[in-house]
Structure 1
C-alpha cells in the first residue's frame, strides 16, 4: 500500500477517536525500526584502495572521477580560475571539487544499520554522497553502476604524480603532499 495512504488511514482513525487502531496500523504497516549503528573507520589509504577497486568511477552515476590531488594542483596554479577553500565552501571553491573528487559512501547507510565493510562501500562524488546522505538506494531510486577498470582510467593519478615530480614545490601544500604519497604507493604496487 502507498505510504501516504497508510498515514491517511491512521489520520481517519484519529479523527474518530480510535487512537489504538491508528497506532496498530503504524506498527503493522509503517513501523519505525531502531538500528544499531556501526562505527566508521577508514584512512585515506583505505579510501584510495576503494577508488582503485572501483576504477575511479562514480558507482551511482557511472561518471569518471579524479585523483583528489589533481584539482588542488589546478588551485595552486590557477587560484582565481580554480579557487579552493579548505572546507569546500560552495561560494569559494570550484564546483569540480564536489563533482569530480571521489569519496566513499556506504550503500546501506551506517545510520540505518549498514556495516562499515568493503562490500558496503562504493566510490562516488562528494555531490552524490551529499545528495544520497542516509537514504537507501531504493529510496533514492538509484542503482549501482559497474566498476571501472583502473588500467583504462586511473583518475589522472599517473599524470598527477608526474606533474608533482616535475614541480616538487607543489609538495609544500599538505593536501597535495598527502595524496601524492598515497598515489605513489599505489603506483609502486
Structure 2
C-alpha cells in the first residue's frame, strides 16, 4: 500500500472512530484494525495518536470551510448567505451520524492537555468567524453582528448534539433573522 493510500485510510478510519466514540476512547490498534494499515506503517505516518488527531482535525477543517463557503455563496444576496449558515447547520444536524461539532468535542476532550489541538480548534473557529464576518460585511451590517451570529451557531451545534435534533439550527436561524431585521430597522 502506497503512502497516500495508507494515510487516507488511516485518516478516514480515525475520523470516523474519533467522531463516533471520542478521541480518548479510541486506541491506535482500533484505528489500525479499521483502516487495514499495519501498526508499523501507522506509526511511520503518524508518530503518535496526537499527530493523527491533529491531521484529522486539519483535514476536517478544510472540508467544512469548503462546504460552508459553497453553501453560502450559492445564495443570491449576502443577507441570505448569512442565513444559509444556519440552513447548512440544519442539514448537517439532520445527518444520521451527527455527534456534535468535532472541534468543540475535541477541545472538550483534549484542549487543556494539548496545545496543538487547542490551536487547531481555535484556528477553525476563527476561520468560520471570519467567513461569517465577511458575509455580514457584504450585507452592510455592523461587525459586532458577526460575533453574535457565531454564538448562535456554536450554541446550536452543542444543543443539537445534546437533544439529538436538527431543530436548534432552525431556532438559531430565527434568532439570526431577528438580529438582521433589528439591524435593518435601526
Structure with more helix by fraction: 2
Looking at CA atoms only, which structure, 1 or 2, has the larger radius of gyration? 1
TM range (shorter): under 0.3
TM-score normalised over the length of structure 2: 0.25
Structure with more strand by fraction: 1
TM-score normalised over the length of structure 1: 0.25
